[in-house]
């Protein structure tokens, strides 16, 4: 009897979640061409996220959390566009200051890596609280990435992972808050998410397929990856 009562409730939960996903892809994107209703849903690789932050600590000590979440976005975007696979498989959201790597931001805000699903209990580098100032003069609290506590485990990365991340660092590693703000606000994936967020929410989910400009390439990636995206490594 209890099971019979639970089944309708379970079905309702599944229906609501499916409706929310379809809403994001159809209602939010109304008036814009879309090759598929369902998005590519990846599972974030927490150990790679922690290790890439450590790599950043070695390569660009002094980077702050706003730079980190943008550098991760630019690297994942570029790697996905080239190879059909992101580096970290992060979840990205559009906020007022641009695309944000969700788990990366949580970690730099003090969340335990282990609680998020990573192998390590603490971050393998020092962090320091501080603030950054925009051209407007407004100061925003941030977290700075300081010296690393150990070497990077390069076995977690492919050659292309670090190659693309190094390219992004070379191009954007010294960019200011304002420069990264202006650069990432041009991207369609961000604009479409932010402009069509629900009920003036303070954030909106971004989708990897919208990071690909070429429609034929986008459609190809969706067709090839949709069945396996959540299981990719």
Q: Concatenated DSSP letters for 39-99?
A: PP-----HHHHHHHHHHHHHHSTT-BHHHHHHHHHHHHHHHHHHHSS-SS---EEEETTEE
| CA angle (202, 38, 168) in 5-degree steps | 60
What is the pLDDT, as a whole number, of residue 76?
98
Cα dihedral 177, 183, 187, 189, rounded to 10, equals: -20
Mean pLDDT of the chain: 86
Residue 107, token pair as written in the block: 């970690």
Mean pLDDT on 211-222 = 91
CA–CA separation, 111 and 114 (whole Å): 9
Mean pLDDT on 191-211 = 93
Name the residue among 190, 65, 60 with its Cα closest to residue 132: 65
Mean pLDDT on 118-126 = 96
How many Cβ atoms are within 10 Å of 161's Cβ, its own excluded?
23
Residue 11, token pair as written in the block: 């079905």
Collapsing DSSP to helix, strand or coil, 27 comes out as coil
Is residue 48 within 8 Å of residue 87, measured between CB atoms? yes
* pTM across the whole model: 0.82
pLDDT exceeding 70 applies to what percent of the chain? Answer: 83
pLDDT digits (tens, 9 = 90+) for 71-108: 999 999 999 999 999 999 999 999 999 999 999 999 99
Q: What's phi and psi for 135, nearest 5 deg?
A: -60, -25
Residue 10, token pair as written in the block: 């379970």
What is the pLDDT, as a whole number, of residue 173?
96
Q: Mark out the alpha helices in 122-226 (DSSP H runs).
A: 159-172, 177-184, 188-195, 215-225
What is the pLDDT, as a whole number, of residue 25?
46
Query: In angstroms, how far is CA 229 from the centroid of its own chain?
Result: 15
pLDDT digits (tens, 9 = 90+) for 148-195: 999 999 999 999 999 999 999 999 999 999 999 999 999 999 999 999
What is the pLDDT, as a whole number, of residue 199?
83
pLDDT digits (tens, 9 = 90+) for 8-67: 444 443 343 444 444 444 444 444 434 344 578 899 999 999 999 999 999 999 999 999
What is the pLDDT, as a whole number, of residue 8?
47
What is the pLDDT, as a whole number, of residue 231?
84
DSSP state of 111: -
């Amino acid at each position: 009897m209890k099971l019979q009562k639970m089944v309708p409730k379970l079905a309702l939960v599944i229906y609501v979640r499916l409706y929310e996903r379809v809403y994001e892809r159809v209602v939010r994107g109304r008036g814009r061409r879309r090759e598929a209703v369902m998005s590519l849903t990846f599972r974030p690789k927490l150990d790679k996220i922690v290790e890439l932050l450590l790599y950043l600590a070695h390569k660009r000590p002094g980077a702050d959390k706003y730079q980190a979440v943008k550098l991760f976005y630019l690297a994942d975007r570029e790697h996905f566009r080239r190879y059909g696979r992101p580096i970290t498989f992060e979840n990205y959201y559009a906020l007022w200051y641009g695309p944000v790597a969700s788990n990366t931001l949580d970690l730099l805000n003090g969340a335990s890596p282990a609680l998020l699903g990573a192998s390590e209990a603490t971050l393998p580098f020092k962090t320091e609280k501080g603030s950054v100032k925009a051209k407007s003069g407004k100061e925003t609290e941030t977290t700075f990435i300081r010296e690393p506590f150990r070497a990077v485990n390069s076995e977690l990365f492919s050659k292309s992972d670090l190659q693309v991340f190094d390219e992004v660092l070379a191009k954007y590693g010294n960019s200011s808050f304002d420069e990264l703000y202006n650069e990432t606000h041009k991207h369609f994936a961000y604009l479409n998410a932010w402009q069509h967020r629900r009920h003036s929410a303070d954030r909106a989910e971004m989708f990897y397929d919208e990071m690909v400009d070429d429609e034929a390439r986008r459609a190809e990636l969706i067709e090839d990856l949709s069945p396996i995206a959540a299981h990719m490594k």
